[in-house]
Amino acid sequence: MGVVAIVAAALLAVGAALAVVRVERGPSMLDRTIAFDVLTTILVGAIALEAAWSRRTESIPILVVLSLVGFVGSVVIARFAAVEPEGADAPGADGIPPVSPGEERAALGAERVGEERGGGE
Amino acid sequence: MSPSTRRAPWRQWPAVLVLAAIWVLLWGSLSWGTALLGLAVAVAVVWFLPLPRVATSWTIRPWGLCVLVGRFGADLVVASFQVAWLALRPGPGPRGGVVGVRLTHPGTTHQVVTAELASLVPGSVVVELRPHDRTVYLHVLDLALAGGTDGVRRDIRALEARVLRAFPPKKES
Amino acid sequence: MTGVGQDVWNLVADVLAGACLLLGAFLAFSAGVGVLRFGHLLARMHAVTKPQVLGLILLLLGVALRVRSWSAVAMLALVVAFQLLTSPVAAHMVGRAGFRTGKVRPEDLEVDDLTDERAG
């Protein structure tokens, strides 16, 4: 068990370090969110590994909380922060879905994609 | 949502039971105290946070459900290690794309279950789901591995067929 | 069950737990590699779903096999259930937001039905 725990911990640590590099590099808010998701998952894995190694159950409630907090975090960022430059007046940016979600937002998205492709890079 | 559309908690007993079960699981011990408090909390949640009624109704077929779950588990394991290999192998990254698949069944519940299961399997993520024209847009990590766009469409339609067999919709409504 | 039989079962459970933990940790590691190496946002998202679903299931299975107490197993099952329900929603929202805000460049995609359909 000792060797297994060390190898697994090393794998998790390297994975977490790589995810941190991606958090630092970005380039966009969403890339950081994704990398942070990986980090949260690895943190859950590390706590699970500790619980398995020591055969103790006190830390398991932390896993429940972490798995939910990670979800709330990435959804909030996807919903609010991802609409970066001109999204202040976008439908849905205020948390209230527009009247006809499919049509309207798809049109808006396409428009914005077009703009960015035309102007950026 | 106006209070008049609220349904009585006892008519939503499955939701109440599930919430109470989650409460008991969180406490980690089954006793009269946790069970009763869980039921009370569940009734309160259902009463104060009402959800819209799901339009379509369905039934459950145990064997279809077994096939769905078993096949999902197998897909999950295979796809997980495929994606792991794609990440670790040397050379340039995989070539992926966004594929639109038109589903056959109009019910939104089945579309959502199909999309959710497709998202859970690594290698494909649902980018858009349009209920009105029944189209689901998936991003596939490696198109060559998935057998091109036709392979993706075939896989998703097969998944939908399994979902429909596991939860066959009722005839009317 | 005799004491010796109990020992054998404990050993089997420990070995299985070790295998689960190693595989789960490997998937988490490959997710770190994937999230760093894949070239664009949508590809990186695939790296996330992998440890979140199978990796987590394997790691928690490892814990369950080591701890062997029902209350802990129940709570671990709850973690997996939450994760299975929430991770596609999060992935979908991130992917959609990325697509709609133009984070995905056309040259990253071999096929793009969504943009084609909008354009024509």
Q: Does C79 touch chain A (CB under 8 A)?
A: yes
**pLDDT at B76 exceeding the cut of 80:** yes
Q: B130, B137, B139: best mutation site toward chain A, by most A Cβ within 10 Å?
A: B130
User: Does C30 fall in a domain?
Assistant: yes
**Which residue blocks in A26-59 are alpha helix, DSSP H?**
29-54
In chain C, what are the helix, strand and coil shares in percent, each to the nearest 5?
A: 85, 5, 10
**pLDDT at B136 exceeding the cut of 60:** yes
Confidence at residue A114, expressed as pLDDT on a 0 to 100 scale? 42
Q: How far apart are CA A24 and CA C72, in angstroms?
A: 36
User: Does C96 fall in a domain?
Assistant: yes
Q: What is the ipTM of this complex?
A: 0.79
User: Does C34 fall in a domain?
Assistant: yes
* Low-confidence stretches of chain A (pLDDT beneath 70): 81-121
Asked if the bond preceding A27 is cis, omega within 30° of 0, the reply is yes
Q: What percent of chain B has pLDDT over 90?
A: 0
Segments forming the whole domain that contains residue C71:
3-110
Q: Which residue has the tokens 């190693």?
A: C22
User: Does C115 fall in a domain?
Assistant: no
Residue A62 sits at φ, ψ, to 5 deg, of -60, -35
Inspect the interface and report whether the beta carbons of B99 and C49 lie closer than 8 Å.
no
Inspect the interface and report whether the beta carbons of C101 and A116 lie closer than 8 Å.
yes
The residues of B whose Cβ lies within 8 A of any Cβ of C are 22, 25-26, 28-29, 76-77, 80, 83-84, 86-88, 93-100, 115-116, 119-129, 137, 139, 141, 143, 149
Decide: helix, strand or coil at residue C2: coil
- Chains near B (3 or more Cβ pairs under 8 Å): A, C
* Low-confidence stretches of chain C (pLDDT beneath 70): 1-3, 102-108, 110-111, 115-120
Confidence at residue A97, expressed as pLDDT on a 0 to 100 scale? 45
**pLDDT at B120 exceeding the cut of 50:** yes
Q: Are C83 and C52 in contact (CB under 8 A)?
A: yes
**C95: closest CA of chain B, how far (Å):** 5
Give the single-character DSSP code of A79. Answer: I
Q: Which residue has the tokens 């189209």?
A: B135
User: Does C43 fall in a domain?
Assistant: yes
- Residue B92 neighbours by CB distance under 10 Å: 8
Domain boundary assignment for chain A = 2-82
Domain boundary assignment for chain B = 3-48, 62-166
**pLDDT at B1 exceeding the cut of 50:** no
Q: What is the CATH number of domain A2-82?
A: 1.10.287
**C55's tokens:** 């990796």
**pLDDT at B70 exceeding the cut of 50:** yes
CB contacts < 8 A, B to C, total 125
Cβ contacts (< 8 Å) between A4 and chain C: which residues?
A: 18, 21-22
**pLDDT at B119 exceeding the cut of 60:** yes
Confidence at residue B56, expressed as pLDDT on a 0 to 100 scale? 59
Q: Within a 13 Å sphere around the CA of B108, how many CA atoms are in the beta-carbon half?
A: 8
CB contacts < 8 A, A to C, total 201
Inspect the interface and report whether the beta carbons of C95 and B125 lie closer than 8 Å.
yes
Q: How far apart are CA A71 and CA A114, in angstroms?
A: 30
Amino acid at B73: G
Report C:18-57 residues touching A (Cβ under 8 A): 18, 21-22, 24-26, 28-33, 35-36, 41, 44-45, 47-48, 51-52, 55-56
If you measure CA to CA, which chain C residue comes closest to A40? Answer: C52
Residues 6+ positions from A100 with CB-CB distance below 8 Å: none
Confidence at residue C108, expressed as pLDDT on a 0 to 100 scale? 67
Q: How far apart are CA A57 and CA A71, in angstroms?
A: 23
B33-56: average pLDDT: 79
Confidence at residue A84, expressed as pLDDT on a 0 to 100 scale? 53
